[in-house]
Structure 1
Amino acid sequence: MDKEDLELKEELAQFTPLALACLDGFIEIAQCMIHKNPRLVCIVNENGHLPVLLAATRGKKEMTRFLYSVTPSEELAPEKGPNGATLVSTCIVKQMLDVALDILEKHPRLAISSGKDNFTPIYVLAQMPKLFPSGGSLWFWQRWIYYCTNVRLRRAHDQIPTYIGENSSQQSRQSDNIIVNVLNQLHGMVSHLLDFLGIKNMHAKKLRNRQAIKLLKCISCTIKNLKVEQLDESLVYQAIIQAVKHGIVEFITEIIDSNPDLLASEDFSKRNIFLTAILHRQEKIFGLLHRLDNLRRIQMISHVDMFENNMLHLAGMLAPPRQLDGISGAALQMQRELQWFKEVESVVPQTFKDVMNKDGKKPCDLFTEQHASLMKDGEKWMKEIANSSTFVAALIVTIMFAAAFTIPGGTNEKTGMPNFLQNPLFMLFITSDAISLFSATTSVLMFLGIMTSQYAESKFLTRLPTKLIIGLSTLFFSIAAMMISFSAALAIWLNDPSTKYVILPLILLASIPVSLFALLLFPLLVEIFISTYGPGIFDRRIERWY
């Protein structure tokens, strides 16, 4: 086959053989074709897409890196059309940040150039919160692994696999080598171990974060000296608003640091970045307000949108479902909404409480109107938990009260004292019985208080959650103490060498209810406690930003 034959296109979508190989990720075939005809990488299909863009769109990372390494750099320049900007945007979405970064370092203006979908890479990056450290929360042990992990940024060319030629035959010869096979097995075992411990995931996350930050710095250098018209055409203002909606605090600080005038960015409703942050419940962005100087902070706080809504009006609006879905239960969602309203209320002047918007509504009226349904759902959620928990707690009270007068081993006929009074297991039995009884009684009273409580808005902030915390905590203690009491009674009754092998399995079985309760309700109990008495979600550090 002549090299010109490889340039022939099929009729339907005008794909060359190389383009078809790109779609399926056949790297060896692609290498053979390009080795025979290097011009193939520059031939577009009917939509004007280069082969490297086709591979990136399909998410074929190795194929994309290979094709990028053999595609002439000038083919991706802004002057050659939208292929370069589209490729950068696609690589950002598919998380091939090494390729995107390499392209922008060669052609910086691609960051603000429109692709085939009319979006610029900076706009696309602003909608990818998972690429940045602020885009996800980690457990304490994951944070420790994250900060201890060392990553090295690699260029796209360093990750290109080689499949053909002499190297391929050499790999074939090595596959028969026992030592190589053993080393490969060990490498696989270590890889699986790192994956199991979460180290591999944390390394990938940190590498992704580092690449995204470097990509952001590269973009910020490009927009540093742009005029207002250029910023608007490049969708920079819209990108900032999108970053606020997604809570990408690194994006906001880096871009505004490069061009301070962007602090005044507004959306189509004339809402600045802080009004938008309140509306979309992005506490990290809202926290930047405390880091502004007095003049800028007053300017941002005094701003109203086109409907004459101030900050407190927007705090009174119902949060987007995406933000509420991450909170367990309607009552805790209502609590979070109240926390937002109180936080914004502490920032704005007192006069803002009585200011009306275009619809003639005060912030508190707007809050009540938009949260009426959520408050009803919160009341229903609290009563359902209280009702089911009351039944369990009342049952425990009945059982433990009866057990207190059904003493294992009986009593002495003359003195009336328990026969096993001197046995440490008996003291464990009676103590745990009393603790279980008192805890269950307290739990019943707390849940009855929840069912008969007045469900006003303010009650959801601390009073109702506190009652629920006490009720669930005492219920947990009562179940645990009941199982300890039961195990102690078994140990007293079966205190014989012939039955010693039966005691341990029975005690282990007795721990199952406690474990099930812990798995089912303990996470909810912890979430309620942290939400009510934790450090809070708002950052008030007085660290000057602007």
Structure 2
Amino acid sequence: MATSAVSAGTIVVEVLNNRNYVDWSDLVRNYLLAQDLWDVVEEEEKEEEVDDQFKAWRKKNAMALHTIQVSCGPETFALIRGIKSAKSAWDILAEKFKAQPLLPSDLLESATSSNNPGYDEIVCDFNQYQPFFDAVRIGDWNKAKEFLTLHPNAVRARIPYSNQTALHIATEFEREHIVEELVQLMPKEDLEIQSFGWTALAIAANKGNIKMVECMVRQSKKILSIATEKNSTPILLACVNEHWDVLDYLYSVTPFEDLKPEKGPYGAGLLCHFIGAKKFDIAQELIQFCPQLVLTKGPYWLSPIQTLACMSSAFPSGAHLKFWQQWIYNCIHIEPTRAIRDIRVRLQNEGNEGSNPTHITWSGFLKGLISNLLELLGINRIREMKLIHIQALELLDRMCEVIKCSEENEKRGIDQAIFQAIERGIFEFVDRLLQTSPDLIGSFNQMKRTVFQFAIECRQEKVYSLIYRFDEKKRTVIGNVADSSRNSTLHMAGMLSPLAKLNKISGAALQMQRELQWFKEVETIVFPRVQEIFNEENMTPHDLFTKNHEQLVKEGERWMKETATSCTVVGALIITIMFASAFTVPGGNNGETGIPIFLKTKLFMAFIVSDAISLFSSTTSVLMFLGILTSRYAEEDFLKSLPTKMIIGLSTLFVSIAAMMVAFSSGLFIMIHEQSWIVIPMIFLASVPITLFIWMQFPLLVEIFISTYGRGIFDRKLKPWSTDIILDGTCT
């Protein structure tokens, strides 16, 4: 008996599926017989014992079971997953896939009925319709048509264990011409037959075959509303798989009545998919017809408002643009409109206009040239982004109108949506939703944290800045609440930022500075006594901050010292060079008077001044970096002291490098000014170090300066709201 592992390829030609059980069972049986394993499939399962006989049976059973398992496909293996007996596995597969007759659909129910005594008489042979199904599978319509001439009922026949018809098979293999012929021959009601919960239309929509979809829908509109066992209608399947041509067609023929909430979750699911695919124009149209869909749960228990709350890239706050890209974004003007689809159709029609070859040539050339230029600058992409943002905001405004007119019992899920939007930093979503439904300000998540506490926890500064829409008294009410663990709002600021937020900031020192800025900002809205309140861990907000940021302080110290050490070495070298250059001037000195020979030339004055500037600035830089190396590195030092020293150190180092290059270029030109072919390239190369410094270090210098002395990450100038706030859970 072989004991090595086996593979499906050594046992069967193809793994078991819903069509090949007869051949498969013969092959597997013969293999088990050859390996002396068939007896464990025939005999009853033995009870567990400790003797050698049971151990031998258990080994053979495991090998036989393994042989059966590896001979199954993924779907059929699921039927015997967890089965421990080879006999049980064999019996289950035999019962599920044993050869059963193919019957016309009008006889199937009566033939298989337990009350039908003549069942055996009307059962046809399994192979009776097999040639027909084989012809459909390989796409031979002539052969299939000949069979239908002799057996007209074959068009309605279906396989009992899978309920497949010839139409299902033709659709699965995308035999378009056969599908069209079968649809014409089949009664309308037979198009509703489901195989494993799928109609033929659902299969065609899932594959994105527009021809098959159209011919089926022309025959029967009722099949449009038949869902699969996973609550997906044909239009939903087309949308999920982004088959937009099929989707547009199905959307045009699907009755709006079938998408209403009372018909099921299909309308809400479709709206969720439109939003997920950023088809906001169609989503608005659907909401216009049925506003209730906004708050209706879809097949996956998400409402459209919750789906939109997860689409951070659809809003301006989710766009991460460089300063020049932001400038282009601001300059692009797009008229807000809810008729984007009409614009799209108009543009398509304009693209098809014109029959003059000369006009097409020049127009195409100019359009191509402009298109390439816009593509190079990224303007087209930025314009498309802004168009999506405008549509998303219009859709959000439309949803807010629906929410405003809804009853309180219909607003379930809005609080989850606002917390989802806060987590992703969608400022526009939170802003509009709070204006629409002010009661959401008092909402709590599972940890009993308010929207502003959660914004602090997630470090979403734009969302948190909404608190400045209230006056000071209301801000105090909002800020002085506690969660289920008695963590105050200031405790939230004492927690460590999410890693994704920290990674957006350069260097551990600046990360620590940002954390301190958050803590100091939240301190301004809480009562003084809240700063000393204890949570369940018996820690004050400051204690919690120190505990959570201990490692970040160490990393910030290491980052500062490594940067300062590297820059100190560069500064010291510049000091040495510039000091020596001041006493070894170009051209030398007069032997009698000691006065430099080129003293009265303008280039010499440029040389000596730039030399002095480089020397003094590099000395200042070294002193600043030495101050960084000898700092105490307390938490508070990361807020102003250390960043200020780093700003001065990097700025003066940059000035010293630039002045050194000016001094070098001036001295070189003084000595060999007649050889311009050498001087000019050398001066050009002298600008390379300055360029490299600007490229590598200047952005960091700007970031440190803005972070330390800029206007800050919080916007305190937002227009106020007039909202009455009622909150529970105030700190005591």
* TM-score when normalising by structure 2: 0.68
Judged with a 3 Å threshold, the aligned counterparts in structure 2 of structure 1 residues 293 and 403 are, in CA distance, closer, same or farther, namely: closer
Residue 279 (structure 2) aligned to one of 85, 96, 104 = 96
In the alignment, structure 1 residue 273 sits paired with structure 2 residue 273 = no
Q: What do the CA deviations read for 1:407-433 (whole angstroms, capped 9, x no partner)?
A: 111111122111111221111111111
Judged with a 3 Å threshold, the aligned counterparts in structure 2 of structure 1 residues 3 and 193 are, in CA distance, closer, same or farther, namely: farther
Q: Aligned partners of 1:368 and 1:361: how far apart in 2?
A: 10
In the alignment, structure 1 residue 251 sits paired with structure 2 residue 429 = yes
The amino acid of 1:253's aligned partner reads D
In the alignment, structure 1 residue 115 sits paired with structure 2 residue 291 = no
CA drift of 1:145 comes to 3.3
Q: Residue 315 of structure 2 aligns with which residue? A: 132
Residue 334 (structure 2) aligned to one of 150, 154, 170 = 150
Judged with a 3 Å threshold, the aligned counterparts in structure 2 of structure 1 residues 336 and 358 are, in CA distance, closer, same or farther, namely: same
Residue 523 (structure 1) aligned to one of 688, 696, 699 = 699
8 Å contact 2:261–2:267 — kept in the other structure? yes
In the alignment, structure 1 residue 469 sits paired with structure 2 residue 653 = no
The alignment partner of 2:524 has SS state of: helix
Q: Aligned partners of 2:489 and 2:271: how far apart in 1?
A: 37
Residue 265 (structure 2) aligned to one of 72, 75, 82 = 82
Q: Aligned partners of 1:453 and 1:155: how far apart in 2?
A: 62
The alignment partner of 2:554 has SS state of: helix
Which blocks of at least 5 consecutive residues in structure 2 are unaligned?
1-179, 724-732
The amino acid of 2:489's aligned partner reads M
CA drift of 1:65 comes to 4.0
Q: Aligned partners of 2:559 and 2:193: how far apart in 1?
A: 62
The alignment partner of 1:2 has SS state of: helix
Judged with a 3 Å threshold, the aligned counterparts in structure 2 of structure 1 residues 23 and 156 are, in CA distance, closer, same or farther, namely: farther
Judged with a 3 Å threshold, the aligned counterparts in structure 2 of structure 1 residues 529 and 213 are, in CA distance, closer, same or farther, namely: same
Q: What do the CA deviations read for 1:174-220 (whole angstroms, capped 9, x no partner)?
A: 89945324423322222222233343233222221221112112212
Q: What do the CA deviations read for 1:151-196 (whole angstroms, capped 9, x no partner)?
A: 353546537779xxxx9xx97x989945324423322222222233
Q: Residue 685 of structure 2 aligns with which residue? A: 509
Q: Aligned partners of 1:88 and 1:126: how far apart in 2?
A: 14
Structure number with higher relative contact order (C-alpha < 8 Å, ≥ 6 residues apart): 1
Judged with a 3 Å threshold, the aligned counterparts in structure 2 of structure 1 residues 260 and 174 are, in CA distance, closer, same or farther, namely: closer
The aligned length equals: 533
Of the structure 1 ranges 239-248 and 58-67, higher mean CA displacement relative to structure 2 is found in 58-67
Q: Aligned partners of 2:283 and 2:370: how far apart in 1?
A: 30
Of the structure 1 ranges 132-141 and 185-194, higher mean CA displacement relative to structure 2 is found in 132-141
CA drift of 1:517 comes to 0.8
Of the structure 1 ranges 142-151 and 471-480, higher mean CA displacement relative to structure 2 is found in 142-151
Q: Residue 184 of structure 1 aligns with which residue? A: 364
Residue 204 (structure 1) aligned to one of 370, 377, 384 = 384
Of the structure 1 ranges 359-368 and 61-70, higher mean CA displacement relative to structure 2 is found in 61-70
Q: Considering only aligned residues, what root-mean-square deviation do their CA atoms show, in Å?
A: 2.9
* TM-score when normalising by structure 1: 0.89
Residue 402 (structure 2) aligned to one of 216, 222, 242 = 222
CA drift of 1:536 comes to 0.4
8 Å contact 2:213–2:246 — kept in the other structure? no
The amino acid of 2:677's aligned partner reads Y
Q: Aligned partners of 2:431 and 2:255: how far apart in 1?
A: 35
Q: Residue 435 of structure 1 aligns with which residue? A: 613
Q: Aligned partners of 1:66 and 1:376: how far apart in 2?
A: 61
Q: Residue 479 of structure 1 aligns with which residue? A: 657
Q: Residue 423 of structure 1 aligns with which residue? A: 601
Q: Residue 539 of structure 1 aligns with which residue? A: 715
The alignment partner of 1:298 has SS state of: helix
Judged with a 3 Å threshold, the aligned counterparts in structure 2 of structure 1 residues 11 and 434 are, in CA distance, closer, same or farther, namely: farther
Q: Aligned partners of 1:179 and 1:22: how far apart in 2?
A: 42
The alignment partner of 1:251 has SS state of: helix
In the alignment, structure 1 residue 68 sits paired with structure 2 residue 68 = no
CA drift of 1:96 comes to 1.7
Q: Aligned partners of 1:278 and 1:56: how far apart in 2?
A: 37
Of the structure 1 ranges 31-40 and 477-486, higher mean CA displacement relative to structure 2 is found in 31-40
CA drift of 1:35 comes to 8.4
Q: Residue 2 of structure 1 aligns with which residue? A: 181
8 Å contact 1:69–1:157 — kept in the other structure? no
Residue 626 (structure 2) aligned to one of 448, 461, 473 = 448
Q: Aligned partners of 1:479 and 1:257: how far apart in 2?
A: 54
The amino acid of 1:471's aligned partner reads G
8 Å contact 1:241–1:265 — kept in the other structure? no
Q: What do the CA deviations read for 1:487-522 (whole angstroms, capped 9, x no partner)?
A: 1122112211xx212222111111111101110010
Q: Aligned partners of 1:329 and 1:176: how far apart in 2?
A: 61
Q: Residue 329 of structure 1 aligns with which residue? A: 507
Judged with a 3 Å threshold, the aligned counterparts in structure 2 of structure 1 residues 399 and 264 are, in CA distance, closer, same or farther, namely: same
CA drift of 1:465 comes to 0.4
Percent of residue pairs identical: 45
Q: Aligned partners of 2:672 and 2:708: how far apart in 1?
A: 46
CA drift of 1:64 comes to 3.7
Judged with a 3 Å threshold, the aligned counterparts in structure 2 of structure 1 residues 157 and 423 are, in CA distance, closer, same or farther, namely: closer
CA drift of 1:229 comes to 4.2
8 Å contact 1:91–1:99 — kept in the other structure? yes
The amino acid of 2:693's aligned partner reads F
Judged with a 3 Å threshold, the aligned counterparts in structure 2 of structure 1 residues 22 and 486 are, in CA distance, closer, same or farther, namely: farther
Judged with a 3 Å threshold, the aligned counterparts in structure 2 of structure 1 residues 155 and 279 are, in CA distance, closer, same or farther, namely: same
CA drift of 1:453 comes to 0.8
Judged with a 3 Å threshold, the aligned counterparts in structure 2 of structure 1 residues 131 and 160 are, in CA distance, closer, same or farther, namely: closer
The amino acid of 1:2's aligned partner reads E
CA drift of 1:74 comes to 2.6
Q: What do the CA deviations read for 1:20-49 (whole angstroms, capped 9, x no partner)?
A: 57645x66x478657865747556555342
Q: Residue 358 of structure 1 aligns with which residue? A: 536
The alignment partner of 1:412 has SS state of: coil
The alignment partner of 1:180 has SS state of: helix
8 Å contact 2:418–2:430 — kept in the other structure? yes
The alignment partner of 1:479 has SS state of: helix
8 Å contact 2:647–2:701 — kept in the other structure? yes
Q: Aligned partners of 1:59 and 1:309: how far apart in 2?
A: 45
Judged with a 3 Å threshold, the aligned counterparts in structure 2 of structure 1 residues 56 and 21 are, in CA distance, closer, same or farther, namely: closer
Q: What do the CA deviations read for 1:319-341 (whole angstroms, capped 9, x no partner)?
A: 11121111111100000000011
Q: Aligned partners of 2:245 and 2:569: how far apart in 1?
A: 59
The amino acid of 2:183's aligned partner reads E
Q: Aligned partners of 2:636 and 2:344: how far apart in 1?
A: 60
CA drift of 1:284 comes to 1.8
Q: Residue 134 of structure 2 aligns with which residue? A: none
Residue 55 (structure 1) aligned to one of 220, 225, 238 = 238
The amino acid of 1:103's aligned partner reads L
8 Å contact 1:9–1:17 — kept in the other structure? no
